Structure 1
Amino acid sequence: MSALEIDQPLLSVRDLGKRYGARVGCEGVCFEVYPGEVVAIVGESGSGKTTLLNCISGRLPRSAGAVVYRMRDGARRDIEDLTEAERRLLARTDWGFVHQNPADGLRMRVSAGANVGERLMAVGERHYGRIRQTAGDWLGKVEIAGERIDDRPLAFSGGMRQRLQIARNLVTHPRLVFMDEPTGGLDVSVQARLLDLLRGLVADLGLAVVIVTHDLAVARLLSQRMIVMKDGRVVESGLTDRVLDDPHHAYTQLLVASIPES
């Protein structure tokens, strides 16, 4: 990647808004994501963070603003200007989406290998041997034993399902990955293992990530920049360590103060 590419934002969000009738989902949100950067969006339930994530990832139509993505050819495109076929291709290749509930991001009744291999087929791979080999390699990268390649996700634990969903998303080497509470609902020990795995993969692959979480410890471990939301609006943003160690807004101060002492 050239220095020019690194200096140019991969994703630009400008005055983004989403309304549900009279109710505000999010409003006036602006930020950028650069190559290799992890941005955490934090806030309590109902703060608008998941609505924001779904709007910028094209899963939910926005009411106002712009979401501009820098394509691999350097062209900047608003995602709402893409055709349905272009959006599908983007979602299968350049983007990933890791759901809180892995069942939402996996095909539960086909094998682990098929879940990973399906993404490869979406980008044109047709050689069965190569698909199976690559799927096996990725299962290894997310710490799933190779002999489980023909097992269905239904036979996996919650932590294993989440790791499989991560492999399915990363096998096509996306440049941008959206994550919605990826450690939510997992036991503390499983969360810690998954976070270590995510941190290593993000660093090794140079991924840009937008992660939604209510857990400030997750945000501190994974992100370089943080956006704090309340009632659909951004109340504070900045470098993660600065926001957590020296919060300026009263709401951020309240969030930080609520973290249990370890």
Structure 2
Amino acid sequence: MTDEPLLRARGLTKHYGERIGCADVSFDLYEGEVLAIVGESGSGKSTLLGLLANELPATAGEVLYRMRDGIVRDIASLSEPERRLLARTDWGYVRQDSREGLRMRVSAGANVGERLMALGERRYAGIRETALTWLDRVEIARNRIDDRPTDFSGGMRQRLQIARNLVTNPRLVFMDEPTSGLDVSVQARLLDLVRGLVADLGLAIVIVTHDLAVARLLSHRIVVMRRGRVVETGLTDQVLDDPRDAYSQLLVSSVLAA
């Protein structure tokens, strides 16, 4: 473990023509830290996540990432093979729609094992045993290893997506509204699972959510966005218990009034 940030965002800006997706966003993220990005629809939080995950080109600014060898790289300067390798090894991305994050026509075991095969693992028995271990960790019965995600519930698919992403022991995971559309009891189970994995594996997570309860439960720090700009940031409990910005106060009060 090091005191150096794992990821640094510096002046991140994205324009869609004359519309601002996000503007001049900067922060540091450390290993083992969970950062929540919150705001209403259209606030720019998903654009920011896309920039951080190197899925969108920035209009201005940079994302710096400390690689496993300790060298800090600007992710925009990585070659395409380097980007693909990073996405398959050191990063994970849990999508809001599990159908976008899973291969729906192959088995649960193949979904988990695919990332291992991308790294050169070819021993079928070893891949299957690792997949079984990860199904255990995300609370999916072992006898479902040969079932396809189409036969799974929404909560099971999200847990499978988590297993698929974590099997290569990444240091950084992006999550885009991972509990959206799930029943409250299913959400609680998923969030409890994620909390445990963060504690066990020392993951750094950037999570986008509109649900302040999710942010409070999972995150150490919070970034509040409005119209593409950060209006407040700080320790999660501090921001949610004593918001300084008028928009943050409105967000919090709307939850309390619900």
TM-score by length of 1: 0.97
Report the Cα distance in structure 2 between the residues aligned to 1:72 and 1:125, rounded to whole angstroms. 20
> For residues 1-262 of structure 1, what are the structure 2 equivalents within 5 Å?
1=1, 5=2, 7-260=3-256
Report the Cα distance in structure 2 between the residues aligned to 1:202 and 1:122, rounded to whole angstroms. 24
Q: Which AA in structure 1 matches 2:254?
A: S
Shift of 1:50: 0.2
Shift of 1:124: 1.8
Q: Which AA in structure 2 matches 1:12?
A: R
Q: Which runs of 5+ in 2 are unaligned?
A: none
Alpha-carbon RMSD across the aligned residues, in angstroms, is 0.8
Report the Cα distance in structure 2 between the residues aligned to 1:242 and 1:125, rounded to whole angstroms. 45
Shift of 1:260: 3.8
Report the Cα distance in structure 2 between the residues aligned to 1:62 and 1:119, rounded to whole angstroms. 27
Q: Which runs of 5+ in 1 are unaligned?
A: none
Report the Cα distance in structure 2 between the residues aligned to 1:160 and 1:260, rounded to whole angstroms. 30
Q: Which AA in structure 1 matches 2:173?
A: V
Shift of 1:141: 0.5
Shift of 1:185: 0.7
Shift of 1:199: 0.6
Shift of 1:237: 0.1
Report the Cα distance in structure 1 between the residues aligned to 2:59 and 2:65, rounded to whole angstroms. 18
Q: Secondary structure of 2:234's partner?
A: strand
Report the Cα distance in structure 1 between the residues aligned to 2:154 and 2:233, rounded to whole angstroms. 32
Report the Cα distance in structure 2 between the residues aligned to 1:260 and 1:37, rounded to whole angstroms. 26
TM-score by length of 2: 0.99
Report the Cα distance in structure 2 between the residues aligned to 1:127 and 1:166, rounded to whole angstroms. 22
Q: Secondary structure of 1:65's partner?
A: strand
Q: Deviations over 1:111-146 (max 9, x none)?
A: 000000001111221111000000001001000000
Report the Cα distance in structure 1 between the residues aligned to 2:180 and 2:256, rounded to whole angstroms. 17
Q: Which AA in structure 2 matches 1:129?
A: A
Q: Secondary structure of 2:103's partner?
A: coil
Q: Deviations over 1:75-108 (max 9, x none)?
A: 1100000000000000000000000010000000
Shift of 1:261: 6.0
